[in-house]
């Protein structure tokens, strides 16, 4: 495995946790996961980013779950990369399937967000993934290829180190159904080949690629066993300190 790849456990809290609850959870995560040899990222709701980042002593990367691409302006209800950074975020999730499907965000918009995040010195977690009907009709690779090509259009090779890709098959998110580790590894390999084609040799093998979709303490081991999988983006199971910790512990035991 390339030395540039990191082992990452990321918690996407989605629209959960008040400020008070966020601080409590983040402090518990800090206490329990700080000794593990992995990178831990937390994505609280916008309202809690500042308070969470101020309340932590050990380095956990904090990020926003979304952002708009402009720095400021008349964009009611949106958050800019500058605001995220000032609040303490170093990362931002772009293209989560809930943004794509519920809020109708298209690849062209997501590409602008990726550029803007990088210009504003935020690291990007770019989510890609296919719907169930797309997988059933054998179109997984076609969908992933379109998303990666369009979302990363115009990105420079040297900026790839600021990007993490999360492969999240939509049918596995919040459903309790996890993709089979071999199925995930196959898509991760495909993404690496695609990145080599787009950016030149080595781009793929250096990319940190996470899996996301119903990761739980009882399924992380078989996913982590796959060399292709560099960690996880966890939704539901990141809302409780104990389950998030157990996932982190197993991930670091397998990868250490």
Site residues for ligand PGA per CB under 6 A: 12, 168, 173-174, 212-215, 233-237
Output the smallest distance, CB 174 to ligand PGA, in A: 4
Query: What secondary structure does DSSP assign to the chain, as a single string?
Result: --TT---EEEEE--S---HHHHHHHHHHHHHHHTTSSSEEEEE--HHHHHHHHHH--S--EEEES---SSSSSS-TT---HHHHHHHT--EEEE--HHHHHTS---HHHHHHHHHHHHHTT-EEEEEE---HHHHHTT-HHHHHHHHHHHHTTT--GGGGGGEEEEE--GGGTTSSPPPPHHHHHHHHHHHHHHHHHHH-TTHHHH-EEEEESS--TTTHHHHHTSTT--EEEESGGGSSHHHHHHHHHHHHHHH-
Q: Active site residue: 147, 168, 188, 228, which one?
A: 168
From 96, 115, 188, 228, the catalytic residue: 96
CB of 220 to ligand PGA, least distance (A): 11
Based on the residue annotation, tell me whether 186 is a catalytic residue of this protein: no
> Based on CB atoms, which residue is closest to ligand PGA, 202 or 217?
217
User: In terms of CB distance, is 30 or 168 closer to ligand PGA?
Assistant: 168
- In whole angstroms, the minimum distance from the beta carbon of 71 to ligand PGA comes to 27
Nearer to ligand PGA, 199 or 248 (CB): 248
Is residue 147 flagged as an active site residue? no
Measured from the CB atom, is 50 or 171 closer to ligand PGA? Answer: 171
Give the residue numbers marked as catalytic: 96, 168
């Amino acid at each position: 495995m390339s030395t540039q790849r990191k082992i990452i456990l990321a918690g996407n809290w989605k629209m959960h946790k008040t400020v008070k609850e966020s601080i409590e959870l983040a402090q518990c995560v800090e206490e329990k996961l700080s000794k593990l040899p992995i990178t831990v990222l937390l994505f609280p709701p916008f309202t809690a980013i500042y308070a969470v980042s101020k309340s932590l002593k050990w380095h956990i990367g904090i990020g926003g779950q979304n952002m708009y691409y402009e720095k400021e302006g008349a964009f009611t209800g949106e958050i800019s990369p500058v605001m995220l950074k000032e609040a303490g975020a170093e990362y931002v999730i772009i293209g989560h399937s809930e943004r794509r499907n519920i809020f109708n965000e298209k690849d062209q918009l997501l590409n602008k967000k990726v550029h803007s995040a990088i210009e504003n010195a935020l690291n990007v977690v770019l989510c890609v993934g296919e719907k169930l009907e797309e997988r059933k009709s054998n179109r997984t690779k076609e969908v992933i290829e379109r998303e990666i090509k369009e979302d990363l259009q115009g990105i420079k090779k040297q900026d790839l180190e600021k990007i993490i890709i999360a492969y999240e098959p939509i049918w596995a998110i919040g459903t309790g159904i996890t993709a089979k580790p071999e199925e995930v590894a196959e898509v991760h390999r495909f993404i690496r080949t695609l990145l080599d084609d787009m950016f030149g040799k080595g781009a793929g093998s250096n990319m940190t690629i996470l899996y996301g979709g119903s990761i739980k303490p009882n399924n992380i081991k078989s996913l982590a066993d796959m060399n292709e999988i560099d960690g996880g983006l966890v939704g539901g199971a990141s809302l409780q300190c104990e389950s998030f910790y157990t996932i982190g512990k197993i991930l670091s035991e397998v990868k250490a």
